[in-house]
Chains A and B, each alone.
Chain A
Amino acid sequence: MMQEAKILSAKFAIKNSNKLTVAKKHGAYQTLDKLFSSKQGDVIEIVKNSGLRGRGGAGFPTGMKWSFLPKGLDKPVYLAVNADESEPGTFKDRYILAQDPHLLIEGIIIACYAINSHDAYIYIRGEYTTQRTILQNAIDEACKAGLIGEKVGKQNYRINITIHRGAGAYICGEETALLESIEGKKGQPRSKPPFPAVEGLYACPTIINNVQSIASLPWIIQNGAMAYKRYGIESATGTHLFGISGHVEKPGVYELPFGLPLLDVINEMAGGVWKGRKLKGVIPGGSSCPVLTPEEAATATLDYASMAEHKTMFGSGGIVVLDETVSMPELAVNLTQFYHHESCGQCTPCREGLGWMEKILKKIVAGEATMRDLNLVRELCDNIEGKTVCVLAAACTMPIRALLDKYRDEFEALLKPEPTDAVTEASAEQE
């Protein structure tokens, strides 16, 4: 029987675990003495050795990201914690924010100390109202208790944590759009380079990390890199909060080590496909990850390498299960509408292209499209990708291409016959 791990979720089931006294009773802030007696470089080394990879979607090694910070600059270094969590199918960070905010704060203290930062901003999506209140209370409690503030630990280290609220823009989860938003601007991604580690918030070196990445730090510092590596597999160490949603009996968040078979997790943790229905596909890591057919899903495991072998992505670990009743063309419309709506508008291929894809896909669903339209939308997928400032556009074209290619019959079944030739079509339109 599959067992849940308890690194991030250890306090989730404990009543009032978001209160400082309760959290402390269950082990919160025990790493601080150890932390402040370690050298900053040694903390980065531990995180590097643990194999921790970013949990926001891209899976970039956290320790390595930190070591990109330029040395010996006299500018402040900022930490931005990404709590924007807006990718459809993703709902894991919310649990940390609401159930164990002190774990996140402890992680922030560790990260700030390691990268020599004194100011952390938590960028939280505007819709997370109760979560923000809980988090702010936890910050205030930690501040009163001297765990953060002007003089922390035996080094009298200064750490200030500020919550910055988003306001309903998915694109602000992209790290440079997030920085723009903190600076008081529209959330439009910046061209890179310069990378944020060199020139980020207020043109100063900045590290952006996901909530779950940061919340993994206390356990690693407490138990060591080797202990962390005992969870998961070589290329993907530790645990992840998997969010399982869609057509399953028991949707929810489950903490598991990396590397488990996808279908076993769906069946054993989430109770399998609901209503005794058949599986049609699995979106393995949030809406931008290409769908897996049941056959592909059967051989996939929950880690970066296996997902890459299956030509999809691990993403945020938000698994969305599709049963046999799902219309793939309608799903394609739903997803494209999301990305088109969330485009920040600065690149033409994204702003206009995704709009055209949405129009054509709607035309297909309405039964008014021909083979030419289907080929056009497929072509658009290839032509939009790689021609934009950020990867939002690709986050749309990749899953749509997979739907078009893997379930093509379903799209073709909705087409009407091609007019015999283009000339008759044009003259018919003129009449």
Chain B
Amino acid sequence: MSDRSKLIATGKPFKFDKKRDTEFEQLVKRYPSRESMVLPALWLVQEQESWVCQEAIGYIADRIGTFASKVYEVATFYSMFNLHPVGKYHICVCRTLSCWLRGKQDIVNYFRDELNLTPGKATEDKKFSLEEVECLGHCGSAPVLQINGEFYENMDVDKVKKLLATFK
């Protein structure tokens, strides 16, 4: 999303829940170096909280035994890590080649016109946030959206309308 250089502090300490804690300890055994855990740990944070806050960066660094600046550097490099809170439904529209050829812009325009939602922003009620992303590897069923991890293929404005109505 927009600015990928600033972290947001929640003011509360971060900690893995039990499930993530166990997963972390299992995964760490798979690598000869603890530093390899930076990406997996960031994923665990995001799965738990839907975004990555400043406290989580420090927590990961402590768990791995590395510098917070190293974790920060990685978190800002990889675009899938949300560095600020996202909507309840985080919508990613593929903007690249095949999706562009088959009408992704109509869908982006629909979000703008109907929901006042533009890429990098969230609706006021924080229900939806929108992001334009690069090729999602589903070019044969373009245009595609990915919402909270789930793929929606062969989309058009009508289908988007119907889909959004199912999100409570």
Q: In the complex, which residues 79-96 of chain B have their Cβ closer than 8 Å to any Cβ of chain A?
A: 79-81, 95-96
* Contact, CB under 8 Å: A128 / B137: yes
A287 touches B39 (CB 8 A): no
Residues from chain B with a CB closer than 8 A to the CB of A127 are: 80, 133, 136-137, 146
- Residues of B with C-beta under 8 A to A181: 39
Q: Is the CB of A168 within 8 A of B79?
A: yes
Cβ–Cβ < 8 Å partners of B73 in chain A: 186
Q: A247 at interface (Cβ–Cβ under 8 A)? A: yes
A167-B81, A338-B96 known; A185+B74 contact, CB < 8 A = yes
Whether A85 pairs with B100 at a CB distance below 8 angstroms is no
Please tell me if B106 contacts chain A, counting CB pairs below 8 Å: no
The answer to whether A89 touches B139, judged by C-beta atoms less than 8 angstroms apart, is yes
CB contact between A86 and one of B36, B39, B137, B142 (< 8 Å): that residue:
B137
Contacts of B146 in A (CB 8 A): 127
Residues in B with CB closer than 8 Å to A341 are 134
Contact A245–B98 (Cβ < 8 Å)? yes
Docked-complex contact B137 and A130, CB < 8 angstroms: no
Residue of B nearest to A94 (CB): B137
Q: Verify if A329 is at the interface (C-beta below 8 Å from B).
A: no
The distance in angstroms between the C-alpha atoms of A417 and B80, with both chains bound, is 43
Binds A, one of B5-13, B27-35, B121-129, B157-165: B27-35
Stretch at the interface among A32-40, A228-236, A318-326, A360-368: A318-326
A166 contact set on B, CB distance < 8 A: 39, 78, 80
Instruction: Decide: A168 near B140, CB < 8 A? Known: A246-B101, A334-B100.
Output: no
Which A residues are in CB contact (< 8 Å) with B33?
Answer: 183-184, 202
Q: Is A129 an interface residue (CB 8 A)?
A: yes
Q: Which residues of A contact B98 (CB under 8 A)?
A: 88-89, 245-246, 251, 320
Report A-chain residues with C-beta under 8 Å of the C-beta of B42.
Answer: 167
* B56 contacts partner chain A, Cβ-Cβ < 8 Å: no
- Hey, what's the 0/1 contact readout for A321-343 against B, CB within 8 Å counting as 1? 01000100001001101100110
- Interface flags for A201-238 (1: CB within 8 Å of B; 0: not) read 01000000000000000000000000000000000000
B101 touches A320 (CB 8 A): yes
Known A-B contacts A185-B74, A251-B140; the reply to A168 vs B133 at CB < 8 A is yes
Contact A165 B39 (CB under 8 A): yes
* A167–B149 CA distance with the chains assembled, in angstroms: 12
The answer, yes or no, to whether A126 is at the interface (CB within 8 Å) is yes
Interface: A253 (CB within 8 A): yes
Q: Is the CB of B30 within 8 A of A184?
A: no
Is B130 at the interface (CB under 8 A from chain A)? no
> In the bound complex, do residue A334 and residue B40 qualify as a contact, i.e. CB atoms below 8 Å apart?
no
A162 in contact (CB, < 8 A): yes
Chain A residues positioned under 8 Å from B37 (CB to CB) = 184
Q: Measured between alpha carbons, how far is A303 from B154 in the docked complex, in Å?
A: 29
**Interface: A107 (CB within 8 A):** no
Q: A59 at the A/B interface (Cβ < 8 Å)? A: no
Which residue of chain B lies nearest to A127 when distances are taken between CB atoms in the complex?
B136
Contact between A85 and B137, CB atoms less than 8 A apart: yes
Contact call B140/A342, Cβ cutoff below 8 A: no
> Is A88 a contact of B134 with CB atoms below 8 Å?
yes
Contact: B30 with A182, CB < 8 Å? no
In chain B, what residue has the closest Cβ to A168?
A: B80
Q: CB distance A169 to B36 under 8 Å?
A: no
Partner of B140 from the list A125, A185, A243 (CB cut-off 8 Å) is A243
Contacts of A287 in B (CB 8 A): 96-97, 135
Q: Does A87 contact B (CB under 8 A)?
A: yes
Query: A183 touching B142 by the CB < 8 A rule?
Result: no
Cα distance A338–B31 in the bound complex, in angstroms: 32
CA distance A342 to B134 in the complex (A): 9
Chain B residues closer than 8 Å to A125, beta-carbon distance:
137
A306 at the interface (CB under 8 A from B): no
Given known A-B contacts A129-B149, A169-B78, A182-B36, A322 and B101 have beta carbons under 8 A apart: yes
In the complex, how many angstroms separate the beta carbon of B25 from the nearest chain A beta carbon?
15
The complex places the Cα of A245 from the Cα of B142 at a distance, in Å, of 8
| CA of A184 to CA of B64, assembled, Å | 11
- Asked if A258 CB lies within 8 Å of chain B CBs, one says no
Contacts of A91 in B (CB 8 A): 137-140
Look across to chain A and name the residue whose beta carbon is closest to the beta carbon of B148: A129
11 new A-B contacts, CB < 8 A, other than A94-B138, A187-B78, are A86-B137, A88-B98, A89-B135, A127-B136, A160-B30, A165-B40, A166-B80, A202-B32, A246-B101, A253-B140, A320-B101
| Pairs A-B, 8 closest by C-beta atoms | A168-B80, A167-B78, A184-B38, A245-B139, A88-B97, A168-B79, A184-B35, A88-B135
